[in-house]
Structure 1
Amino acid sequence: MKLLLTAAGISNASIHRALVDLLGKPVSEASALFVPTAIYAIPNGSNIIRGVITGSLGDPFCDLGWKSLGLLELTALPSIKRELWVPMLQETDALLVGGGDCQYLCYWMKRSGLTDLLPTLLNKIVYVGLSAGSMIMTRYGTTYNNHTLPAESDKSLGLLDFALHPHLDHEWFPENSLANLEKLAATIPVPSYMIDDQTAMKVTDGTIEVISEGNWKLFTP
């Protein structure tokens, strides 16, 4: 299992080195697939997707100089023959899962069949999450909107036994002050990592390493 869970993308040299280490080769020699699905569930989603892909918004993610970059839209997969997209996924080096709404992303990860592939897939490729794309792999997720999804839809997949709270002390998210996140973490029965946009979590076969050029805190209930 190889995961790089970021708050904002590949925002500094330390996180970039961690990505290269997980890939086992330079980014310029690696292929990637970008999953934009979660972004559609937040305001102005289509323009945000364009910005993430082109690199005109946020930190580097899709625009790192990958050897090749494709899109994997989860909402389309149930209507496509599996033999058209599963081999493409199995042959990529990195799966880039964008941020947005955790509940919407989690629903379509399951509905598309991607969740069923993850146990085998994560032994072969690197999962790189951004914000919600990172959070859904842990025991905690959030939602932006009321969706036309089943009421019992999960907000995370719970594959990792900790919670992740990105964008610590970010000016765009005043509710993400350290004091507020500590109050939230106290209600969650697993350890919580609070990370700013210069921090990421590197997870290799269950070993957790914090990669940071910024601020972070581990809260244990």
Structure 2
Amino acid sequence: MKLLLTSAGISNTSIHNALVELLGKPISEASALFIPTAIYGIRNGSNIVRQVIRGSLGDPFCELDWKSLGILELTALPSIKQELWVPMLLETDALLVGGGDCQYLSYWMKQSGLTDLLPSLLRKTVYVGLSAGSMIMTSYGTTYGNHTLPSETDKSLGLLDFALHPHLDHPWFPDNSLANLEKLAATLSVPSYAIDDQTAIKVIDDNVEIVSEGNWKLFDPQ
């Protein structure tokens, strides 16, 4: 399993180097698929998707000089025969999973069948998350509530036994102060990482490593 869980994308040289290390080759020689699904769960989502793809919003993510870049929309997959998209997925070097609404993304990860494929897929494919795309792999997720999913829908997949709180001290997210995130972490039964947009978490199987040129904090449960 190879994961790079970012707050806002490939925001600095250290995170860029970590991605190259996980890929085992230059980004210009690697193929990627972008999953925008979570973004549709927030206001103005369709415009944000366009900006993320073009690289005009946030840090580099899709616009990284990939050898090839495709889009995999999870909401479409249940109505498409798997032989049309599973082979493409299995041949991809990196899966870029965008931010937005964790609950919406988690639901469609399961409905599309992608969750069932992840254990075998992540033996060779690098999972690169951005914000909610990172959070759903952990034991904690959030929701904006701009959807009609059943209230009991899981907010994360829980593949990792820690929580991730991105955008530490970001001006767009005034509730994400260190003090507030510490209070939130105290309510959880698993360790919590609060990371800013210059920080990522690299996971290789059971090994967890912080990659940062910014600020982060680990909160252990009491």
TM tier, smaller:
over 0.9
Is residue 119 from structure 1 mapped to residue 119 from structure 2 by the alignment?
yes
Q: Distance in 2 between matches of 1:146 and 1:22?
A: 34
* Residue 146 (structure 1) shift: 4.4
Correspondence 1:201-216 to 2 at 5 A: 201-216=201-216
**Distance between the aligned counterparts of 1:72 and 1:151, measured in 2?**
26
Gap runs ≥5 in structure 2: none
Q: Does the CA-based 8 Å contact 2:138-2:157 persist in structure 1? A: yes
In structure 2, the partner of 1:75 is 75
Post-superposition, which runs of at least 4 consecutive aligned residues in structure 1 deviate over 3 A? none
Could you say which residue in structure 1 is the equivalent of 2:160?
A: 160
* Pair 1:31-2:24 in alignment: no
CA RMSD of aligned residues (A): 0.5
Identity, % of aligned positions: 83
Residue 41 of structure 2 contacts residue 146 of structure 2 at CA under 8 Å; is this kept in 1?
Answer: no
Counterpart residue identity of residue 25, structure 2: K
Corresponding residue number in structure 2 for 1:93? 93
Secondary structure in 2 matching 1:175: coil
Shift of 1:184: 0.1
Q: Is the 8 A contact 2:36 2:98 kept in 1?
A: yes
Q: Secondary structure at the match of 2:175?
A: helix
Alignment TM-score, normalising by the size of structure 2? 0.99
Q: How does 1:1-221 map to 2 (within 5 A)?
A: 1-221=1-221
Structure 2 counterpart of 1:202, one-letter code: K
SS in 1 for 2:65: coil
Distance, in Å, in 2 between the alignment partners of 1:151 and 1:10 is: 33
- Output one character per residue of 1:67-114: Cα deviation in whole Å (capped at 9) or x when no partner: 000000000000000000000000000000000000000000000000
Counterpart AA for 2:177: S
User: Does structure 1 conserve the Cα–Cα contact (< 8 Å) formed by 2:191 and 2:220?
Assistant: yes
Cα deviation code 1:36-92 (max 9, x no counterpart)? 000001001011000000011110000000000000000000000000000000000
Structure 1: which 5+ runs fail to align? none
CA distance in 1, matches of 2:146, 2:97: 21
